[in-house]
A and B are shown apart, each in its own frame.
Chain A
Amino acid sequence: MPRSVTIIDYGMGNIWSVASALKYLGYNSTVTSNIKEISNSDCLILPGVGSFRKAMVSIENLELDKAIYAAVGSGIKLLGICLGMQLLGTSSTEDGYYKGLGLIPNSVEKFTKDETGDLKIPHIGFNAVEHPNDSVLFQGVAKKSDFYFVHSYRMLPQSPEESILCRYGIKFLAGYENKNIFATQFHPEKSQTNGLLVLRNFLEYKTHA
């Protein structure tokens, strides 16, 4: 079990909160944009608050994209949080079209009026998340537990396997897990005890790569 977690720093994330939650769970974390440290870590977290385009530009300028691909390719597990999840997608329409890291095969678009009706954008607050029984991230988490969301952009499920969902007018992807790629649209570090459980499940998960 890795006791040390690497938080990828691209200058925009809410890094303190993630680090505090890890500390609470008994893990040390390193916040870095150093490519070597990223490729040598055993567990990566990509946090995020802010604009997709600016984040991707920063990631590309720091060559963190290459470091992330290399790490993931060698079996290191990765958790993208909020914008960090969106960055793993194929592209986003925030501030015009911009390409993402492509580790999750879904694109990111803004909630539309058709989807949300009278509901307010951004989607801010605690909302219930449904998850399959065999989910890694949600082991031991009660069905329909609440998690904290704050976002205007979302990914839509593209296949029945993508079944960590939340409803906000429409069902969107609240989380993602495939091999060593994990992501949550909500903020586990801001979701009280429910979120702490999800983080712990990620940290304790053993990859088979």
Chain B
Amino acid sequence: MHKKRIIFSLLFNNGNFALSRNFNLQNVGDLKWLQHNYNFNKISFSIDELMLLDVSRSNRNLKKFSDTLKKITEGCFVPICAGGGLKHISDVHTLLRSGADKVIVNTSLFDNKVFIKEIADLYGEQCIVASFDLKKNSSNQYELWSSSGRRLEGLAKEYLERLDKLPVGEIYLNSIDQDGTGNGYDLDVLNILPSHINKPVVIAGGVGNSKHLAAGLSDSRVDAVATAHLFNFIGDGLKKARSDLIEIGYDLPIWDGYVAEKVSGHHMETKFD
């Protein structure tokens, strides 16, 4: 049986990194800022996967995004998932050649199924993470929203019944209501999944501390827990959260940071300028 995963998500907003709260973005700084304030190389040795999401609401610049992806992945030896606004197979190709192992898709799941099939045919289903943004409506049912939470697609449960027919490798469930609140995951979103689902599930939205990660990891339907909240894991925060979880008995992979320095042919810091 494989280990569960902690995924760290970075939100890229037209050249800056951003925090998101209920899908409202607040820029916090660029790549240099990220390295300076967070020593990102160190963070990358405390996570099992990195997600780089282009959440730019307009004027997406794939070149800029993939250049950032390249710089980030240079010193980061974990699986990388990247995406946001992908429309053409050439976009996917660009990201996969810039350090990504998988791409994450959202809006195309609804309006460009041919594109999804094309990615699956060329790179395999395991290369695609299907992201679903969820919001509770007034009658307590989960709705699916696309286009960065601006377009309602319908009731989640109905749509997700066909999940097994989607040519994707993983399911990423993100709660718009919990996003950036720091109040913890809404684990009830997992109830919208069909019981027979045979694809790994990632839960996102709401993490404020390591207890929230633990709550997600404890749910048998969850394969990976994601957080995009930089400030909650400042300094050694993520490293500590991770070692705490391992100590309590969560089955996460373990790294030896010392080995990293031993095997490195040169100085291990990557310079982001």
Contact = CB atoms under 8 A, between A and B. Distances in A.
Nearest to A11: B93
A127 B2 contact: yes
Instruction: Rank and list the top 3 A-B pairs by shortest CB-CB distance, nearest first.
Output: A26-B265, A125-B2, A146-B253
Contacts of B123: 12, 49-51
Given A24-B264, A124-B170, A187 B101 contact: yes
Chain B contact residues: over half helix, strand or loop, or mixed? loop
Interface of A: 12, 14-17, 20-21, 23-27, 49-51, 54, 119-127, 146, 148-152, 167-168, 187, 189-197, 200
Contacts, number: 142
Contacts of A149: 2
B97 A197 contact: no
Interface stretch (B107-115, B124-132, B151-159, B231-239): B124-132
Given A15-B97, A193-B260, A20 B74 contact: yes
Interface in B227-267: 253-257, 259-260, 263-266
A161 B252 CA distance: 30
Contacts of B199: 120
29 contacts: A14-B96, A14-B100, A16-B73, A16-B98, A17-B73, A17-B101, A20-B74, A24-B75, A26-B266, A51-B121, A54-B122, A120-B223, A124-B2, A124-B126, A124-B200, A127-B3, A146-B254, A148-B79, A150-B102, A152-B124, A167-B1, A187-B79, A192-B45, A192-B260, A193-B45, A193-B259, A194-B259, A195-B77, A196-B264
B148 to A, nearest CB: 26
B70 interface: yes
A50 B3 contact: no
Contacts of A120: 198-200, 223
Contact of B48 (A25, A50, A54, A126): A126
Contacts of A152: 124-126
Contacts of A17: 73, 77, 80, 99, 101
Contact of B256 (A15, A27, A121, A193): A193
Nearest to B1: A119
Contact of A192 (B4, B5, B73, B77): B77
Contact of A196 (B4, B122, B259): B259
A12 B127 CA distance: 12
A21 B198 CA distance: 32
A152 B127 CA distance: 11
Contact of A23 (B5, B74, B80, B198): B74
Contacts of A194: 255, 259
Given A14-B101, A24-B265, A122-B126, 8 more contacts: A16-B97, A17-B80, A21-B77, A23-B265, A125-B2, A146-B3, A193-B77, A194-B255
Given A16-B98, A51-B124, A125 B200 contact: yes
A191 B77 contact: yes
Contact of B122 (A51, A124, A151, A191): A51
Interface in B164-207: 169-170, 198-200
Contact of B3 (A23, A49, A125, A193): A125
B78 interface: yes
A119 B223 CA distance: 11
Contact of B127 (A25, A49, A127, A167): A49
User: Could you say which of B3, B124, B264, B268 has the most chain A C-beta atoms within 10 Å of its C-beta?
Assistant: B124
A5 to B, nearest CB: 12
Contact of B124 (A24, A49, A197): A49
B266 to A, nearest CB: 6
Contact of B263 (A119, A126, A148, A200): A200
A49 to B, nearest CB: 6
A20 B75 contact: yes
B73 to A, nearest CB: 6
A158 to B, nearest CB: 24
A9 to B, nearest CB: 10
Contacts of B268: 24
